[in-house]
Structure 1
Amino acid sequence: MRDPYDVLGISKTADEAEIKRAYRKLAKKLHPDANASDPKAQDRFAELNTAHEILADKEKRGQYDRGEIDAEGKPRAPDFSGFGGGGPRRGPGGFSGFDGDTIFESFSFGPEGMRRSSARGGGGRGFEDVGDIFGFGRQRRSAGGGFQPQPGADMEISLPVSYEEATQGASKRVGLPNGKQIDIKIAAGTREGHRMRLKGQGEASPMGGPAGDAYVTISYAPHPSFERDGDDLRHAVDVPLADAVLGGKMRVPTLTGVAELAIPAWTSGGRTFRLRGKGLPNATGGHGDLLVRANIVLPKEKDEALEALMKKLREDAASA
């Protein structure tokens, strides 16, 4: 996974506005719908969303900058290689102990996030909570009186889907932090924030116990054509001047295809039309609406007859 700053093409001093601008620009360029013939489009788009998720969140960005999480948002494993710079001391018969400055850090990960604890060795005091440091103290007692290893940690994954996928349903391939690739079925009408449990697909247990679970939360990816307004969508359509004056029909894209919109005669620029049920899935099991704004456009080529007519109308209005 590449550095999130490199993915967005920004510097490490970029502010929130720069991050947002870079993300919106790349989202339109890399959206799978705009790159249907590219088999790697989905992967690039997922990488973009992961990078944005980290850098747009102040807490996650700080964790990444401090090296606490990696480019995928996963906590980095602790490094015990230096043992605090002192390392173990070897005596004539083997190891005789550790330097007084040696610090052991233990990390545990779960739904509440990352927790860190430390214990200092040396000085004749031995280790503090050594079972917690290396996992021996985190076993569960079974019904028969023995101990069972603690399960692996759960993991949280955000899965961006397009508006079309959420509305019509889709099958998405997801790469888990543990390297597994799984297919997830997105049901038609899935709303943002929907959370799915994948039993046994979380982190492996360090003590040989069952694996944790993976929880996948659906998020909406930005759309190149529609602007979200709650469960409603907004879209602008260019209406030729002649159709605005005389009336006409316009083809409007929707999440399920194309709809035909009737433009009444004497339609002013900025007028908004409502296509009911053409928006995003809502809490009642239905869908929001699509709000279409009319933008009046002039002919591409200069029209002398039109100019003459406009001059006459202006003169008539001035003399009235």
Structure 2
Amino acid sequence: MLHDPYAALGLAKTATADDIKKAYRKLVRTSHPDLNPDDADAEKRFKAISAAYDILKDTETRARFDAGEIDGLGAEQAPRQYYRDFADAPQNAYQHRDGFGSDVDPADIFAEILRNRGRTSAGDFQSPGAHARFTLEVPFLDAAKGTQTRITLPTGQSLSVKIPPGTEDGQTLRLRGKGSVGFGGGPNGDALITILVQPHPHFQRDGNDILVTLPITFDEAILGGKVTAPTIDGPVEVKIPANASSGRVLRLRGRGVARAGTKAKGDQKITLKIVVSTDPDEALRAFLLDWRTSQSFDPRADLMKGTGA
């Protein structure tokens, strides 16, 4: 099939919405011409995967493509009611179809379809302008919290772009009417801006949750206490429970990313990591040597069960 959006993204028709999003994000980084200036075919690939994603990311357009109602570029497919479809129908099968008689020429049906899809005279012809595609790199915190920025088009025009809170890497923003000028008075195309979220040195994102690793000292892990932890909205005080091990996860409710269309936020998940000072402490070392001889706790006991060790 020509312009098969599944093939363009390297997916099967059984792909989930998450599969589609992940495939698109991966291909954007390897195919966008701005990110691959030495690749002569990058622009062609980028246009193909963008068109494919536009079809498959929306459940309605995906269903219409799967049903054969639109093609891989989103254009309406001509109805498949050709003469051969009526070969087994009664002799007067055409008599009640838009005025065609039983001796209709199949070519006349197709011509009528084309006439109904738009006026064909040169003076009346209208066509929407082409969409213009751009990429915009956005800092992690700006994408998570939302911001207002500007983008300069090749024409020199400067556009204000609103980055909504919770914008994801690879997400495409649409600016209506900011693309190429339409033909014959047709509407302008849109500006489609693909967002590339820059990585953050400490934060990661998992859906609407923010993930961060928090270093704690040996005594904080044993005794517990209150420490300061970063969040996307600024530092907060966190209570470390006593006897906390590395890998333990604490949850800060509502400290994540805003869910699309709501004021509700995800959470921040803090993974604790015990960090030991590289400066020697002889008193602590002496204490631990003495403590080691009397303690019986083995953190690897369960790990060794059933291993034959």
What is the TM-score of this pair, normalised by structure 2?
A: 0.54
Equivalent residue in structure 1 for 2:253, among 251, 268, 276: 276
1:301 maps to a residue whose letter is: D
Matching of residue 65 in structure 1 with residue 43 in structure 2:
no
Counterpart for residue 221 of structure 1: 198
How far residue 207 of structure 1 moved from its aligned partner, in angstroms, is 7.0
Q: Would you tell me which structure has more strand in proportion to its own residues?
A: 1
> SS of the counterpart of 2:292?
helix
Q: 1:264 to 1:177 in 2, by over 3 A?
A: same
Partner of 2:276: 298
Equivalenced residue count is 205
Secondary structure, in 3 states, of the residue corresponding to 2:255? Answer: coil
SS of corresponding position for 1:212: coil
Letter in 2 for 1:302: P
Question: What are the equivalent positions in structure 2 for 1:70-81 lying under 5 Å apart?
Answer: none
Select which of 239, 255, 265 maps to 2:232. 255
Q: Given the alignment, which residue of 56, 73, 96 partners 2:30? A: 56
Cα deviation for residue 257 of structure 1 reads 0.8
Residues 1:309 and 2:287 aligned together: yes
Give, as a single letter, the amino acid of the residue that structure 2 aligns with 1:287.
K
One-letter amino acid matched to 1:251: T
Q: 1:199 Cα deviation (Å)?
A: 2.9
- Percent of matched pairs sharing the same residue: 35
Residue 218 to residue 281, structure 1, CA distance change in 2 (3 Å): farther
Question: Which residue is equivalent to 1:199?
Answer: 176
Q: State the secondary structure of the residue aligned to 1:244.
A: helix
Say whether the 8 Å CA contact 1:157–1:217 is kept in structure 2.
yes
**Deviation, structure 1 residue 274:** 0.6
In 1, Cα distance between equivalents of 2:211 and 2:182: 47
What is the CA–CA distance in structure 2 between the aligned matches of 1:191 and 1:65, rounded to whole Å? 26
| Structure 2: distance between partners of 1:190 and 1:62 | 23
* Shift of residue 182, structure 1, vs aligned partner: 0.9
SS in 2 for 1:309: helix
Inter-CA distance 152–298: structure 2 relative to 1 (3 Å threshold): same
Structure 1 counterpart of 2:234, which letter?
A: G
Q: For residues 161 and 190 of structure 1, what CA distance do their matches in structure 2 show?
A: 10
Alignment of 1:116-195 (within 5 A): 141=119, 146-188=123-165, 190=167
What is the DSSP-based 3-state SS (H/G/I as helix, E as strand, rest coil) of the residue aligned with 2:226?
strand
For residue 234 of structure 1, what is the aligned residue in structure 2?
211
Post-superposition CA distance 1:84-124 (Å, at most 9, x none): xxxxxxxxxxxxxxxxxxxxxxxxxxx949xxxxxxxxxxx
Note the C-alpha offset of 1:180. Answer: 2.5
Report Cα offsets for 1:133-171 as digits up to 9, x if no partner: xxxxxxx649x9942453321123444434432443311
Show CA shifts across 1:194-215 (max 9, x none).
6543233112457786532213
1:187 deviates by 3.9
What is the CA–CA distance in structure 1 between the aligned matches of 2:220 and 2:35, rounded to whole Å?
A: 50
Q: Distance in 1 between matches of 2:250 and 2:204?
A: 15
Partners of 1:192 and 1:230 lie apart in 2 by 11
- 2:218 maps to a residue whose letter is L
The 1:198/1:290 distance shift into structure 2, 3 A limit, reads same
Is the partner of 1:173 in helix, strand or coil?
strand
User: Would you say the 8 A contact 2:224–2:243 is kept in 1?
Assistant: yes
Residue identity in the other structure for 2:217? P
Q: Which amino acid letter does the alignment assign opposite residue 248 of structure 2?
A: R
The separation in 2 between residues aligned to 1:185 and 1:298, in whole angstroms, is: 44
Q: How has the CA–CA distance of structure 1 residues 58 and 150 changed in structure 2, closer, same or farther, with 3 Å as cutoff?
A: closer
Contiguous gaps of at least 5 residues in structure 1: 1-51, 76-110, 114-139
Kept in 1, the 8 Å contact 2:145–2:257? The answer is no
AA partner of residue 234 (structure 1): L
CA distance 1:268–1:284, shift in 2 (3 Å) = farther
1:190/1:267 CA distance change after superposition, 3 Å:
same
